[in-house]
């Protein structure tokens, strides 16, 4: 979860919808653990959902929204289980390579602006996952 002013983005990494992009079918439930992010905006003391965010290349087990961040009208959402090889979002030859998605707001409308991958994307990179500190 992340907040900036009167906007909150909340991740649901185990959400199952097969929708893609912004404001797709939230009731789809065809792709286990695809993940989603929800954007809420406060007006006065009331909160209302403004957007439902999904990856442009939604797949099962992508874990989209493991990490979310917001700054002004920009949201970044990670999907560390995303499997593309980096050059083609439809080529799932790099299991768990990971990706990050950038969404921007104009007025009340959110759109995906970017799909980010490491230049050397490879299997099990988990790009977009938080760093873990292991103590011995």
Distance CA 91, CA 85 (A): 6
**pLDDT of amino acid 15:** 98
**pLDDT of amino acid 82:** 96
**pLDDT of amino acid 135:** 44
Give DSSP secondary structure letters for 88-126: -TT---STT-BEEEEEEEETTEEEEEEEE--TT--TT--
State which residues of the chain have pLDDT below 70.
Answer: 131-136
Q: Is 114 helix (H, G, I), strand (E, B) or coil?
A: strand
Q: Is 125 helix (H, G, I), strand (E, B) or coil?
A: coil
In this structure, how many other beta carbons lie within 10 angstroms of the beta carbon of residue 28?
16
**pLDDT of amino acid 107:** 97
Whether the model clears a pTM of 0.85, i.e. scores above it, the answer is yes
**pLDDT of amino acid 86:** 81
**pLDDT of amino acid 131:** 58
**pLDDT of amino acid 94:** 94
């Amino acid at each position: 979860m992340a907040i900036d002013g009167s906007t909150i983005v909340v991740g649901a990494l185990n959400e199952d919808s097969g929708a893609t992009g912004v404001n797709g079918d939230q009731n789809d439930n065809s792709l286990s653990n695809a993940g989603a992010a929800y954007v809420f905006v406060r007006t006065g003391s009331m909160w209302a959902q403004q957007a439902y965010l999904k990856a442009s290349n939604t797949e099962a087990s992508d874990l989209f929204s493991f990490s979310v961040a917001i700054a002004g009208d920009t949201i970044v959402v990670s999907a560390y289980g995303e499997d593309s090889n980096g050059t083609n979002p439809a080529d799932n030859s790099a299991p768990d390579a990971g990706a990050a998605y950038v969404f921007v707001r104009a007025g009340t409308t959110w759109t995906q602006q970017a799909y980010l991958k490491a230049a050397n994307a490879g299997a099990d990179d988990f790009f977009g996952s938080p760093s873990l500190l292991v103590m011995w």
